Amino acid sequence: MGMNWVGVGSVYLLVGLILGTLRSCNGGISSIYARTNGISADMPLNSDVFALPPGYNAPQQVHITQGDHEGKGVIISWVTPNEPGSSEVTYWAENSDIKKHAVGTVVTYKYYNYSSPYIHHCTIKNLQYDTKYFYEVGIGNVTRQFWFTTPPAVGPDVPYTFGLIGITTITINVDPSTHLTEILFANRYLSTGDLGQTFDSNRTLTHYESNPAKGNAVLFVGDLSYADAYPMHDNNRWDSWGRFVERNVAYQPWIWSAGNHEIDFLPEYGEGEPFKPYTHRYYVPYKSSGSTSPLWYSIKRASAYIIVMSSYSAYGMYTPQYKWLMSELPKVNRSETPWLIVVMHCPLYSTYVHHYMEGETMRVMYEQYFVQYKVDVVFSGHVHAYERTERVSNIAYDIENGRCSPRNDKFAPVYITIGDGGNQEGLLYDMVDPQPGYSAYREPSYGHGIFDIKNKTHAYFGWHRNQDGYAVEGDSLWFENLHWKSLQDSSSASL
Ligand SMILES: *[C@@H]1O[C@H](CO)[C@@H](O)[C@H](O)[C@H]1NC(C)=O
Ligand SMILES: *[C@@H]1O[C@H](CO)[C@@H](O)[C@H](O)[C@H]1NC(C)=O
Ligand SMILES: *[C@@H]1O[C@H](CO)[C@@H](O)[C@H](O)[C@H]1NC(C)=O
Ligand SMILES: *[C@@H]1O[C@H](CO)[C@@H](O)[C@H](O)[C@H]1NC(C)=O
Ligand SMILES: CC(=O)N[C@H]1CO[C@H](CO)[C@@H](O)[C@@H]1O
């Protein structure tokens, strides 16, 4: 039988170390694995991870992302605190003496009473595939050196490993009569903000970095700094977050998608332009996929075609996002990039009580296309927990026929929620009970995912909790590529 998750909430504190899973009669697995530390406190601003690099006007918050559609370009971004300095990048291939130079641009913005430092963005194009490059920023007073490796050429059988990091957000809803666990945690929540910049965020990042599966690039499912959790959305927390994640994102591209914590909408204090800090700080190559907004775009990387969508921008019929996606999906050539991955912050399927059905209108709008175009997997964040669905679709409904429940559909995407990077709001324990049949596995632990593409027909997904050893998987699934599987099925059917 299903369990009453609200009722057992307080027990989590007592059974913190008990590991195990329960099978509900309706759905898949609801793990009762609970991490030992339910509290997610922010790292203080004097923590090692936020340290300023030494030297006058030294570049900080260095981060890279893909800079073109095919993976031969990189956008390098960084911040200089005292003066604009130089927007130039010097770069060279490993084993090459030829140093090249590219010059980017510098931008600043104001937010309420905050003035940003100098934010530099420099796009380098026409790099060689599968090559290690060194690069240097801060030309002038203090230079700093980093490196990255470009992906292999786009092609169907190119193995490639993506990491998945999510950070997450919940509205803290403490009801003293029922949510004992949440009250105990809530005292700690109030100390701050989520990947956020808590001790758990740091554990998630360390865990990802230590995973022997060695991710080559990160698909980031939204909610970066949680600066909006501070008074007046204290944008200094955007800066501290940039310093925190530099140790990883300066060396491998993070493919960005925007979450609700990127909206930073504060019109009563004159901040009515949504996504202002995010879009000034995190550039993405949206124009190269014909998009008109950095909030939705696509890239090809090795054997994957990645479509990033915005849960918090207009997406109904005739909107720019809708029109872009409708022209985008038919362009995906599965002979070239067999793996079709969609990233969006708010999950279309989630069985946690917080944020329940928030993705429903977007599901109604887009699920039919994800099924039609055989999207292999949709990755989301938002919900402060992990969940994986069965392959289901819920698109048969036509207002009269009553067919409005998800049903098995072997050519529907798997929906995976990785909203568990470690934000200050804590984990979610309240789940829809009994577990619905479309939910294959759910667990409220912090962790990260690895999507490991082996070839054009097979990929392996693993989800790793922070509490476990670096190689341990809390959940895993072999993916058979939907496009190639459907061709195989139809050819064997016609025999
Ligand atoms: C964050 O993690 C890194 C790597 O494990 C460690 O060196 C550092 O001390 C941690 N910092 C905090 C504040 O937890
Ligand atoms: C901005 O405003 C906040 C809250 O009113 C205040 O605490 C902070 O010191 C101000 N910062 C600056 C740079 O004036
Ligand atoms: C799809 O990609 C394959 C492999 O790269 C190529 O041979 C084919 O021409 C492409 N099809 C279209 C319609 O571009
Ligand atoms: C693709 O990878 C899977 C899993 O590693 C393997 O079983 C399969 O044989 C591979 N296919 C080809 C054509 O190599
Ligand atoms: C080459 C260069 O950018 N030098 C600058 C270093 O910093 C001082 C201020 O301390 C500037 O005046 C220089 O122009």
pLDDT tens across 418-468, in order?
A: 976 655 555 556 888 899 999 999 998 888 999 999 999 999 999 998 878
25-29, 168-172, 199-203, range with the lowest pLDDT: 168-172
Ligand located closest to 484 CA: 4
Expressed in angstroms and rounded, the spacing between residue 334 Cα and the centre of ligand 4 is 17
Q: What is the mean pLDDT of residues 57-76?
A: 98
Indicate if the pLDDT at residue 183 is higher than 80. no
Q: What is the mean pLDDT of residues 397-409?
A: 94
Indicate if the pLDDT at residue 406 is higher than 50. yes
The pLDDT assigned to 41 comes to 78
Expressed in angstroms and rounded, the spacing between residue 459 Cα and the centre of ligand 4 is 9
Ligand 4 contact via 188 beta carbon (within 6 Å): no
Indicate if the pLDDT at residue 12 is higher than 80. no
Indicate if the pLDDT at residue 295 is higher than 70. yes
Give percent above pLDDT 70 in the chain. 85
Catalytic annotation, residues: 355
- Contact (CB, 8 A) for 196 and 240: no
Give, using CA atoms, the residue closest to atom 9 of ligand 5.
56
Q: What is the distance between the alpha carbons of residues 232 and 244, in angstroms, rounded to a whole number?
A: 21
Neighbours of 130 (CB within 10 A): 13
Give, using CA atoms, the residue closest to atom 14 of ligand 3.
333
Indicate if the pLDDT at residue 276 is higher than 70. yes
The pLDDT assigned to 4 comes to 35
pLDDT tens-digit readout, 108-124: 999 999 999 999 999 99
pLDDT tens-digit readout, 458-472: 999 999 988 788 888
**Mean pLDDT value across the chain:** 87
CA dist 469 → 207, 212, 452 (Å) = 9, 10, 19
Expressed in angstroms and rounded, the spacing between residue 140 Cα and the centre of ligand 5 is 7
CB environment 313-345: b (16+ within 10 A), e (fewer): bebeeeeebbebbeebbeebebeebbbbbbbbb
The pLDDT assigned to 10 comes to 32
Ligand 5 contact via 141 beta carbon (within 6 Å): yes
DSSP conformation class of 287? G
The pLDDT assigned to 25 comes to 42
Q: What is the distance between the alpha carbons of residues 309 and 307, in angstroms, rounded to a whole number?
A: 6
pLDDT tens-digit readout, 141-168: 999 999 999 999 999 999 999 999 975 4
Ligand 5 contact via 361 beta carbon (within 6 Å): no
Higher pLDDT, residue 473 or 459: 459
Ligand 4 contact via 460 beta carbon (within 6 Å): no
Q: What is the distance between the alpha carbons of residues 393 and 147, in angstroms, rounded to a whole number?
A: 42
- For the CA of 115, the nearest atom of ligand 2: 13
pLDDT tens-digit readout, 328-352: 999 999 999 999 999 999 999 999 9
